Amino acid sequence: MISWLKRRKMNIKTHSSPDLASRSSAAAHLQTKSISPDKEIEHYKSRLLQFGINIYEMPKLTPQSKKSRLDAYTIASYIANNTELKSLFLTKKGLPASQLSEKFPSKSIRRYTPYIIAVALIIIEDYEYLKGYLPE
């Protein structure tokens, strides 16, 4: 997600000229999907704005260390997989901090709130292309 934003902001092409076979297979793959990556990202941007987050600020809001990103991902996936927390998250347009602080350190929740929200939205909304940027 972040590397896509940086490439888009700098208008750097990341692909060298691929051969015809890979172009046609990529085109066939995109035709079988119901939504293009650009439309998926536009929808994601609008969803983030509903939560008060600008997608272009995400590189600054992303945790620097890999461990912190994994901790935030763990919190986000916990929200996405818990139906009660997911409904609170989607209706309040924010993190259910009091319920999360019972299981996770409140300092991590406060520090990484925008990143947790962004990752939780990717998981909940099932953004196929954006999920490729999440840790496994």
Q: Is residue 42 part of a domain?
A: yes
Q: How confident is the prediction for the chain on average, in pLDDT?
A: 82
Query: For residue 62, is it within any domain?
Result: yes
Instruction: Please report whether residue 20 resides in a domain.
Output: no
pTM: 0.73
Phi-psi bin for 23: left (phi > 0), alpha (psi -120 to 50), beta? alpha
Whole-number pLDDT of residue 19: 45
> Is 98 within the bounds of a domain?
yes
Q: What percent of the chain has pLDDT over 90?
A: 62
Confidence at residue 42, expressed as pLDDT on a 0 to 100 scale: 94
The domain total for the chain is: 1
Residue 120 belongs to domain spanning:
2-9+37-133
Tell me if 23 is assigned to some domain: no
Q: Residue 118 domain-assigned?
A: yes
- In tens, the pLDDT along 56-105 reads 999 999 999 999 999 999 999 999 999 999 999 999 999 999 999 999 99
Contacts of 103 (CB under 8 A, 6+ apart): 78
Question: Tell me, what's the pLDDT at 93?
Answer: 93
Q: Evaluate whether residue 30 is within a structural domain.
A: no
Question: Within a domain: residue 31?
Answer: no
